[in-house]
Structure 1
Amino acid sequence: MELETGTRAIIALAWARHLGLADSALHLAALGESSDRVEARDDAADTVRFLRLVGGSVLAGPGWLVDAAAEYDDEALAQESTLVRLIRDHGAMDARGTGESALYYLDEPLDVAESDSTLVSLEAEHALALEAECPRDDLAGVRLSDREHTFTLLAQDGHAPLAGAGYDVWEGLVADVAAITVPELRRHGLGTYIAAVAVDEALSQGLVPQWRAGVSHRAAHLTADELGFVLCGSLTSARIG
């Protein structure tokens, strides 16, 4: 399955604005018509990001790092270890990787059936209650209670939190979606269900849902596949320290 041309153009525009580039900077890459690497130089940046989007790529960070990376191809820069090594070679020994994620998008409507045994809450207190049931390490990439829009799946009898999803709106164009399930209830489809609820709401608001899945997070990739998301690129980042 492929995304519509208009959807890819929206994704390119959102990322261009998110990275402080000209609106047209990633247009050809998103359409698969350019394989050029775009440079986004910011000498005040404390984070390095390498984005691959359909046919092109972007390296965003301080000018010294962009220059040092010139001899590396996209495959190398998509590895967290490469970015960390480039930073440490410059003298910042406390540099650390902050993730390698696949980027998925969706522009097809979902058919989300109502559940007879659960409720969906939009209240922040329920998102916080769900987070209290999850290990701290699981919360870092999700930040559910900090999201602009949250959806918490509750048991109809007792209202215990089961799973949750939420999204932030990027540049008024893209909904960056994430989801989490309490550990003892994982692998039962609850996270996929509440993610579908969030995605469906984002689509109804005219947004393009974005799903970021860590390279080793098998469940996140399975959720993307089950919901019909299309793989369009990747994002790798590291903090300079």
Structure 2
Amino acid sequence: MNLDPGTIAIIQLAWSRRLGLADDALAGAEDGTRIYSVQDQSRSVSFLRLFGREVFCGPEWAARRARGKSAAQLSGHTALASLSVEYGGRTVGSEHLCFADSFPGPVEPEEEIAVAEDHDLAVQLERLCPPDDVAEAGLAHKDQLFIAVDDRPEAPVPLAGAGYSIRDGILADIASLTAPTARRQGLGRYITSVAVEEAMAAGLIPQYRAPLDNVGAARTAAGAGFIAVGIRSEVLLPA
């Protein structure tokens, strides 16, 4: 399964704008090209590989250290941190960039599940989950929310949730979260597919960022029809 060339062009446009590059920077670059965006006042160092093109962003000292290093060397969890350790770099993480441009296949759970769009239920779901998972997903901060709930009790119980925020007017940045007691039941994949359908119906391209060390997130993304086509790493620098 491949993304449509038109979808690829739009994704490249969105990420070019997000990185402060010319609109055609990624689409116009040859495969294997690395773009260096040097910003001496930048408070972060980042590396992006997307559809065979690469972008390194950061101060001049970081760009000098990155030259000659391969994409694999710059994509690891600690690679950028090692470049900036003496400057106080703090690892944000490395993630696969996944996109979808077709409606996912049937992923209905075995039992009928209600879907709500209630922010309070998203907050309630976060309280059921480990703090690291909550911080990674940032579900309650998404603009659009879809919460799978068990509505048999008097008060609905959130089981899994997905949501998206719009980036650059083009991408629907989707994240999902599943309560520990409801995992391995296909609920994360199901509610993520709901978010994908709603985002596409709104004319957006769904994007899912799956941390490199999160196998569950990668499975959820693949099950909801996403294709991994890029990788991004980032560290933050002290002000």
1:125 counterpart = 2:117: no
1:198 match: 195
Could you give the per-residue CA deviations for residues 155-181 of structure 1, whole angstroms, max 9, x where no partner exists?
121210111001111111111111000
Answer whether contact 1:102 1:231 (CA < 8 A) is retained. yes
Seen in structure 2, the aligned counterparts of structure 1 residues 82 and 113 have a Cα distance that, compared at 3 Å, is closer
Seen in structure 2, the aligned counterparts of structure 1 residues 200 and 218 have a Cα distance that, compared at 3 Å, is same
- When structure 1 is superposed on structure 2, of 14-23 and 150-159 the one drifting more is 150-159
Could you give the per-residue CA deviations for residues 97-132 of structure 1, whole angstroms, max 9, x where no partner exists?
211111111111235577763211112111111111
The structural deviation recorded for 1:28 is 3.6
Unpaired runs of 5+ in structure 2?
none
1:173 counterpart = 2:170: yes
* Partner AA of 1:235 in structure 2: R
Q: Distance in 1 between matches of 2:147 and 2:90?
A: 32
Out of 19, 34, 37, the position equivalent to 1:37 is 34
Q: Secondary structure at the match of 1:99?
A: strand
Q: What percentage of aligned pairs have identical amino acids?
A: 38
* Partner AA of 2:235 in structure 1: A
Answer whether contact 1:28 1:34 (CA < 8 A) is retained. no
1:20 counterpart = 2:20: yes
Could you give the per-residue CA deviations for residues 65-119 of structure 1, whole angstroms, max 9, x where no partner exists?
112211212221112322111112xx32x32221111111111123557776321
Q: May I ask how many residue pairs the two structures share in their alignment?
A: 235
TM-score for the superposition, normalised by structure 1: 0.92
Seen in structure 2, the aligned counterparts of structure 1 residues 173 and 101 have a Cα distance that, compared at 3 Å, is same
Q: Secondary structure at the match of 1:191?
A: helix
Q: 1:5-154, aligned counterparts within 5 Å?
A: 5-29=5-29, 33-88=30-85, 91-92=86-87, 94-111=88-105, 117-154=112-149
Answer whether contact 1:112 1:197 (CA < 8 A) is retained. no
Could you give the per-residue CA deviations for residues 35-61 of structure 1, whole angstroms, max 9, x where no partner exists?
110122222222211110011111111
Q: Distance in 2 between matches of 1:240 and 1:121?
A: 39
The structural deviation recorded for 1:199 is 0.7
* Partner AA of 2:94 in structure 1: E
The structural deviation recorded for 1:227 is 1.9
Seen in structure 2, the aligned counterparts of structure 1 residues 113 and 58 have a Cα distance that, compared at 3 Å, is closer
Answer whether contact 2:162 2:174 (CA < 8 A) is retained. yes
CA RMSD of aligned residues (A): 1.6
Answer whether contact 2:108 2:190 (CA < 8 A) is retained. no
Q: Distance in 1 between matches of 2:98 and 2:28?
A: 19
Unpaired runs of 5+ in structure 1?
none
Q: Distance in 2 between matches of 1:78 and 1:65?
A: 14
Q: Distance in 2 between matches of 1:82 and 1:11?
A: 25
Seen in structure 2, the aligned counterparts of structure 1 residues 113 and 222 have a Cα distance that, compared at 3 Å, is closer
1:157 counterpart = 2:131: no
Seen in structure 2, the aligned counterparts of structure 1 residues 11 and 208 have a Cα distance that, compared at 3 Å, is same
